[in-house]
Amino acid sequence: MFSIQKILGGDRKFYDLLEASAQQADSSVHHLVGLLEKLQQDETPENLEEFAHSRREDKRITQELTEQLSKTFITPLEREDIQELAAALYKIPKTVEKIGERILICPQDLRGHSFQKQVELLDQAAETVLAMVKQLRKGIDASTAREMNAKLQAIEGDADQLELDRLRDLFQGRYEPKQIIFLHDLYGLLEKVIDRCRDTGNIILQVALKYS
C-alpha cells in the first residue's frame, strides 16, 4: 500500500474537498430515489431544489479545488489527476438533476413503469464511488482499486443489459410516440449517470496504479 501523504506531505484539504464532492454525488442519487418514491405515492414535487443544491454545492467544491491548486505548491495527488477526478465527480449530480427535470416534465407518463432496478444499480454505483474516493486518503492500493473498480464495471454491465431490455419492451410494445420519446430519453440519462460513476472509478484506478 502506498501513502501519498508520507511521500509528498500533501495537504489534507484536497481529500476533504474530493470526499465532499463524492458525497454530493451520492446525495443527488438519494434525491432521485426520494423523487420517484413520491411519484409512486401520487405526489408531484413543485421543484427540484434538493437536486439543484447538490449540483451547486458540488460546483462550489470544484471551484474551490481549482483555487487551492493554484495556491498550493505540493499536492497529495498530481494536479491533473485532482482536476480530472473533480470534473468527473461534478458530472454525476449535474446529470442526475437533468433526470429530475425530465421526470417533472411528464410525471404522468411514468405511471405503470418501475425504475427500481435502475435506481438500485445507480445507488450502488454512487456508493462505490464514494467509498473509492474515501480510500484515496488512506492510500488506496492497486489491488483494492481493481476490486472496487471491477464492481463498478459489473454494475455498468448490468445497467447496459437492463437498458437494452427496457428499450426492447419500449419499441416492441404499444406506447404512444410521446411516451416512447420521453422514456427513451430517461433510460439514456440513467445509463449516462452510471457511466459517469464508472469513469470516476477508472480515474481512481489509474491513480492507484500510478503510485503502486
Rounded to an integer, what distance in angstroms lies between the CA atom of residue 209 and that of residue 212?
Answer: 5
CA atoms within 13 A on the CB side of 129: 38
> Rounded distance, CA 199 to CA 87, Å?
11
19: which 3 cell numbers? Answer: 470526499
- Mean pLDDT score across all residues of the chain: 89
Contact residues for 151 (Cβ-Cβ < 8 A; gap 6+): 124, 128
pLDDT of residue 1: 43
Q: Which amino acid is at 180?
A: I
When the candidates are 3.40.30.10, 3.30.1310.10, 3.30.70.20, 1.20.58.220, the CATH number that belongs to 9-211 is 1.20.58.220
Give the pLDDT band of residue 11 (cuts 50, 70, 90): low
pLDDT at 112: 74
Long-range contacts of 50-53 (CB under 8 A, 24+ apart): 51/93, 51/96, 51/97, 51/100, 52/97
**pLDDT value, residue 125:** 97
pLDDT of residue 42: 78
Cell 411528464 sits on residue: 106
pLDDT at 88 exceeding the cut of 90: yes
163 half-sphere exposure, CB direction, 13 A CA radius: 21
Q: What pLDDT shows up at residue 26?
A: 96
Of 69-73, 131-135, 144-148, give the lowest mean pLDDT range. 69-73
What is the per-residue pLDDT across 22-47, written as a single tens digit (0 to 9) for each?
A: 999 999 999 999 998 888 887 777 77
What local confidence, expressed as pLDDT, does residue 109 receive?
82
Banded model confidence at residue 9, pLDDT cuts 50, 70, 90: very low
Task: Tell me what percent of the residues of the chain surpass a pLDDT of 90.
Answer: 67
